[in-house]
Amino acid sequence: MNRIALVARLKPGAEEQATTLLEQGPPFDPGERGFARHAVYLSAGEVVFVFEGDEVEWILDDIVGELGGAVPPALAAWEGLVEGPPRIARSVYAWES
């Protein structure tokens, strides 16, 4: 299984609006898209979207590249909340029992 995270720095004061967006859930069904797991972590200064599954990078690439779907408007909602483009972080170490 592959893991990838998207890390974005929040603008000052954006945490409450980010929480509201995150409470709506993802603009797609993670299971139908092929993800095994999906989680989002939020701090006062950053948001981290974690995706796990086979070929996770290709799945994300397909989702972000879709035109006319629910994802582009959902991404646009984040534009006013984040500073700069998100950074991609790849899993280097993970442990499971």
Each residue of 38-76: pLDDT tens digit?
A: 999 999 999 999 999 999 999 998 888 876 677 778 888
Sheet holding 37-42, edge to edge: 37-42, 46-53, 2-10, 82-90
Cα 62 → chain centroid: 14
Residue spans per domain, the chain = 2-90
- pTM of the entire structure? 0.91
Asked which of 4-8, 12-16, 54-58, 63-67 is least confident by mean pLDDT, the reply is: 63-67
Predicted pLDDT of residue 35: 96
Name which residue leads in pLDDT, 75 or 22. 22
Write out the DSSP string of 3-40.
EEEEEEEEPTT-HHHHHHHHHT--SS-HHHHT-SEEEE
Predicted pLDDT of residue 48: 98
Domain 2-90 has CATH 3.30.70.100: yes
Predicted pLDDT of residue 67: 66
Predicted pLDDT of residue 9: 97
